[in-house]
Each structure stands twice: as C-alpha cells, then as structure tokens.
Amino acid sequence: MLFDPYKLKNISLRNRIAMAPMTRNQSPGGIPTNEVVSYYERRAKAEVGLIITEGVEVSHKASSAYPNVPRLDTENARDGWKKVVDSIKSHNGAVIAQLWHCGGFRKLGMDPDPLVPGHTASGLVRPGKRVAHAMTSDDIKETVEAYAIDAKRCEEIGFNGIEIHGAHGYLIDNFFWSGTNEREDFYGGSIEKRSQLVTDIVKAIRSSVSDDFIVGLRFSQWKQQDYEARLASTPEDLEKVIGPPADAGLDFIHSSMRRFWESEFEGSKENLAYWTKKITGLPTISVGSVGLDSDFIDMTAPASPSNIDKAIEDITKEKYDMVAVGRALLADHEWVIKMKEGRVGDVNPYTKEALFKLY
C-alpha cells in the first residue's frame, strides 16, 4: 500500500510517501540556488511520491525570522522555484510549496526591514512573554492577502499546490493556541474563533487559485515553545480547530507529531492523523520519526534507520493516507527505493551533519 500509487485530488502520486518540509537556509536573497534545485531533484529522481518544500516565507513584511529562507516576491526567486518545479516534474514527481509566516519568532533587527517586529495574535510569543506586535485588523487583512497572492504565484510557477504552515508555534499556530491568543474580537475568545485566521486564509487562497490547485494545511498540537501544549484534548475540540478551515476548502491536512506511533487522546490508541481523517474525511498525512529509531525532539540527535511496518499497517487499515518523512530523507535521498526493496540495512543513518550539507 505505502509504495503503491495514490491519487491526491487531481494528481497521481507514485506512492504515499511525502518529503516533509525542511528549512535549509541555503537560498540567499530568498532565491533557491542551483544546489537547491539539485537537492530536490535527487529526491524526485529517487522516487519520493510528493515533495513538500521547505517553508517559503509568505510575502509579508513580518514573515521572516531566519536567514537565507526562500521567498516568492521577486522574479529571481520565482525563476529559482520554476527550476525546482520543472526538475521535480521531469522525474515524474509532484511538488507542493509550504507557505510560512514566522509570527513571534521574528525579532527587531532582522531582515528585510530591521524596524519591523514579530507579529502575533496578542503580542505574546509564548504564554507570559509579550514582546511582539499585536496584530490589528489591517495587519490581518494584509497577511491574508499575502497568502492569496503567493498561492497564485505558486500556481503560475507550476507547483501542484501549497501547504499552509499552521504548526509548531508560528503565526497561525500562535492564533490557534489559547496560551498566546488573548484576542476578544473575531479572531479569538473561543476555540472556533482562534481558527478564524486560517479559515480566512484558506478562503482567500481558494478564491485566487483554480479549483484543481491543491490547498493543504499542516498543524500540530506541540509547539517549539512547549512540547506538551495542546490545541485540543478531545476529538470534539479537535473538530472545532480543524473543522472550519477544512470546510473552507482544504484538500488535505498534514498532522505534525513528534512520534507518529503515539496515541493522541485518552481512551484510544490512534494518533493525530487518524483523528484528523476521521473528523474531516480529508486525505491526511502522518509524520514524526517515520523510519527512525528515536523521536523528533532534538534535530541534532542521531537516529538509526528502522522498519516502517507500523506505517504500512496503518495505511493498509486506512487510518490515514500518506506518511511524510523528514530526517531520514535528509540523510539518505534514496530512502524510498531502499525501503521499498526491504534494504533497511543499506539506509544511511541520520546524524546532524545532514543538516549542514545540501545533498
């Protein structure tokens, strides 16, 4: 099942394995270089079913928080992405761009405008730490428009779709989280209202791209600010978080976990991706230490290859539809082929050196 073709909306994927989005900080001036092109091409050639790109900064003045992250707001950046897309497609791959707004991870002094502070729902970057700018309605409107414009740009470049990065404590997750969203307007005050920002973004994107273009959302319970934080403690609450954006026109949801084998809610052994699929009926991607023998807490910690029987079993039982693989694919671009052929012993183990080289 895992290695068999899968249809995601209008595209036929050659298997159910996605490359997880991974920031590489190797695109000076926001422009993907030829090395970035080759990096993605290597994985498309080695049979990765769907490539989800590293986070691409949405074209908003406060989206950036890290150096050399790719963007979409210059012709050179878009030309760079076109090379990435064309090379992936020339190897029968499919590719989705992850759109990212860093929210409260931005600090004064950062590029592109050092005077622009981090933007968050209520000025909080974590519970109790109010050092960012609390977004006004105009800021929200501008941000929503930026997503719609960038999604259209992605469609024009030739991407098969986009994924909205709504996970890990960044802007959208800052709105989702009761610990950082203290708003009392349309965008806060209840669990449903904390989802309103992303629902607005999905609606705006849907009206700017064609019906065939894939629009997905990545979300997580965990945050970099707090691994134990949760948006929902019951399936009923989870429905309030992801139901509204799903109804606004999502095509898939990517449920980010640190350990995909862990149970999400008390009284059931199923994970977050299972519940996401059950609640929304949408195609769901499961992620978090797939094919590795240790969990995703510290990305610099080494991890050895392990088998993927649990993922295969879950997909066969239709608990979720795809798996995303991060570090294992950084360490070995031929991971898919080797796993398909049952050559676990040939897979290169993950070490932190993989973070620094773009191979």
Which residues participate in catalysis according to the annotation? 170
Residue 271 interacting with ligand FMN (CB under 6 A): no
Residue 355 interacting with ligand FMN (CB under 6 A): yes
- Tell me which of 20, 51, 110, 272 binds ligand FMN, using CB under 6 A: 20
CA distance 62 to 81: 22
Q: Which is nearer to ligand FMN, 148 or 167 (CB)?
A: 167
Binding piece for ligand FMN, criterion CB under 6 A, among 118-126, 190-198, 236-244, 326-334: 326-334
What minimum distance in Å lies between the beta carbon of 211 and ligand FMN?
A: 26
Nearest 5 degrees, angle CA 16-CA 155-CA 20? 35
Residue 44 interacting with ligand FMN (CB under 6 A): no
Give 291's contacts (C-beta < 8 A, 6+ positions apart). Answer: 305, 306, 307, 308, 311, 325, 328, 335, 339, 347
Cβ neighbours around 172 below 10 Å, total: 29
Residue 339 interacting with ligand FMN (CB under 6 A): no
Residue 218 interacting with ligand FMN (CB under 6 A): yes
The strand pairing partners of 161, in sequence order, are 96, 214
Residue 277 interacting with ligand FMN (CB under 6 A): no
- Tell me which of 23, 304, 348, 351 binds ligand FMN, using CB under 6 A: 23
Binding piece for ligand FMN, criterion CB under 6 A, among 132-140, 319-327, 331-339, 340-348: 319-327
Residue 326 interacting with ligand FMN (CB under 6 A): yes
Residue 105 interacting with ligand FMN (CB under 6 A): no
Residue 84 interacting with ligand FMN (CB under 6 A): no
Binding piece for ligand FMN, criterion CB under 6 A, among 8-16, 20-28, 73-81, 189-197: 20-28
Residue 56 interacting with ligand FMN (CB under 6 A): no
Letter string b/e over residues 137-160, b meaning 16 or more CB atoms within 10 A of that residue's CB: eeebeebbebbbbbbbbbbebebb
3-state SS of the chain?
A: CCCCCEEECCEEECCCEEECCCCCCCCHHHCCCHHHHHHHHHHHHCCCCEEEEEEEECCCCCCCCCCCCCCCCCHHHHHHHHHHHHHHHHCCCEEEEEEECCHHHCCCCCCCCCCCCCEECCCEEECCEECCEECCHHHHHHHHHHHHHHHHHHHHHCCCEEEEEEEECCHHHHHHCCCCCCCCCCCCCCHHHHCHHHHHHHHHHHHHCCCCCEEEEEEEEEECCECCCCCCCCHHHHHHHHHHHHHCCCCEEEEECCCCCCCCCCCCCCCHHHHHHHHHCCCEEEECCCCECCCCCCCCCCECECCCHHHHHHHHCCCCCEEEECHHHHHCCCHHHHHHCCCHHHCCCECCHHHHCCC
240-269: which residues touch ligand FMN (CB under 6 A)?
A: 256
Residue 216 interacting with ligand FMN (CB under 6 A): no
Residue 283 interacting with ligand FMN (CB under 6 A): no
Residue 166 interacting with ligand FMN (CB under 6 A): no
Residue 54 interacting with ligand FMN (CB under 6 A): yes
- Tell me which of 31, 99, 167, 209 binds ligand FMN, using CB under 6 A: 167
Residue 335 interacting with ligand FMN (CB under 6 A): no
x/- contact string, 106-135, with ligand FMN (CB under 6 A)? ------------------------------
What minimum distance in Å lies between the beta carbon of 129 and ligand FMN?
A: 22
Number of residues that bind ligand FMN (CB under 6 A): 23
- Tell me which of 2, 13, 22, 204 binds ligand FMN, using CB under 6 A: 22
Residue 68 interacting with ligand FMN (CB under 6 A): no
Residue 290 interacting with ligand FMN (CB under 6 A): yes
Q: Using CB under 6 A as the criterion, which residues of the chain lie in contact with ligand FMN when the complex forms?
A: 20-23, 54-55, 98, 165, 167, 218, 256, 287-290, 292, 296, 299, 325-328, 355
